[in-house]
Amino acid sequence: MTQRLYLVDSHLFENECTVLSCKPAKDGFDVVVDETVFFPNKGGQPCDTGALGPVRVTDVRESGDELILRTDGPLVVGEKVIGHIDEARRLDIMEQHTGEHILSWCAYRLFDAMNVGFHCAFTYATLDLDKPLTAEQVTEMEDMANDLIRRNLAVHATTYATEEDRKDVPLRKHAEGLVAPIRVVSIEGADSCTCCAPHVHFTGEVGVAKIVSAVAYKGGMRMTFLCGGRALKQFQKLQTTVDAIARRFSTAGDEALTAVEKQEAELKEVKKQNADLTGKLEAYLTAELRAQAEDVKGKKLLVRLTDTDTKRLRPLALATLPEKGLTLLLTERNGQVAYVLCANGLKLDMADLIPAVNLALGGKGGGRGTLAQGSAPASPGLPETVEQLTAYLRNVLKA
């Protein structure tokens, strides 16, 4: 059986051990040693990684009483090697996990909300509660947690040989299916629950706990939080963003939101004015285009290359249609030509006409009945192509 040294001292980062077995495995070798500081994938958090003698440890998992260390190279059975974990990784994960215990205790103490799920990734951690909390309650919970952190309370891990030995220890949570021996992680004067993972020695090592989001989840609430170094990095990132926004508005950081809100109001007014002006302009443009339509045997034909926005091309084309006529409007934007072909009061199907338009422009489009549209790459000869299409559609109306 592998002796798990991390259960005794979470801040022990290396130890000498003896290689008991080494077997080839996918992407490396499975190694068993007599004792180790490496924590496995367990309890909602990722395993330790590091070095075992001359090879790298890339994964750690449990298999019965043994811990299997996946390495990127072989080791000699019987030899002694030094195992050394990635200290920064271990400390970071311990900050998050102990922070989760503190937050869970606060939710339980304040609102009788139970922790029903925990996951620690490498950039964030989540805590699931069995009931939803209001924004004010989340803030109260966060404030209480950080007060416990600042008080630098002792964190103890105690293993009890039997349930009887543990019966006088009140638990916030007892993991289902857990059998003796039972390991309990306690925070002095606060939380106490069963847990198999390494934790910090004092709550002050957590630094700070910041809940960055709290959303409804399976009838309860999922909180995403950051502790310690992760919280500091997030604050630094946000500070950089706020400072950049403040400089853009030539104001102080704490006035940036007011400046953004003011600009938003001004932008809404400008958009409204622009919409009003665009409407008036398109009314004039529609009237002008209708006046430019030519008469072909009592039918109106309008073919024009316009300067209108692509999104407005279709409504503009439809607006220019007389009671009996055919319209083809085109516009060029960002190296692309958009076109709309439509008819009114004629025995024509646009599905029969759009292939010729596509061929002339080198584009793709389709439609049926009274409307078809498409797009094509822009070309220097576009004005001449428009003239050719005018002649083609003129002949169509004469037929």
Taking alpha carbons only, the member of 74, 82, 62 closest to residue 17 is 82
> Which residues have CB under 8 Å from 3's CB, separation 6+?
34, 35, 36
pLDDT one-digit tens code per residue, 189-217? 999 999 999 999 999 999 999 999 999 99
Query: What is the pLDDT averaged over residues 80-103?
Result: 97
Query: Confidence class of residue 275 from pLDDT cuts 50, 70 and 90?
Result: confident
Give residue 323's pLDDT. Answer: 85
Highest mean pLDDT among 214-228, 237-251, 274-288, 302-316: 214-228
Rg (the chain; Cα; Å): 36
Q: How many CB atoms lie within 10 A of CB 221?
A: 21
Query: Confidence class of residue 169 from pLDDT cuts 50, 70 and 90?
Result: confident
Contact 161, 180 (CB under 8 A): yes
Query: Confidence class of residue 90 from pLDDT cuts 50, 70 and 90?
Result: very high
Query: What is the pLDDT averaged over residues 216-229?
Result: 96
Pairing type for strands 364-368 and 371-377 reads antiparallel
Query: Confidence class of residue 87 from pLDDT cuts 50, 70 and 90?
Result: very high
Query: Confidence class of residue 1 from pLDDT cuts 50, 70 and 90?
Result: confident
Q: Above 80 in pLDDT, residue 180?
A: no
pLDDT one-digit tens code per residue, 100-141? 999 999 999 999 999 999 999 999 999 999 999 999 999 999
d(CA 302, CA 289): 8
Query: Confidence class of residue 341 from pLDDT cuts 50, 70 and 90?
Result: very high
Give residue 378's pLDDT. Answer: 93
Give residue 277's pLDDT. Answer: 82
pLDDT one-digit tens code per residue, 241-258? 999 998 888 888 888 888
pLDDT one-digit tens code per residue, 41-57? 988 889 999 999 999 99
Give residue 177's pLDDT. Answer: 66
Contact 228, 207 (CB under 8 A): yes
Give residue 58's pLDDT. Answer: 96
Q: Above 70 in pLDDT, residue 176?
A: no
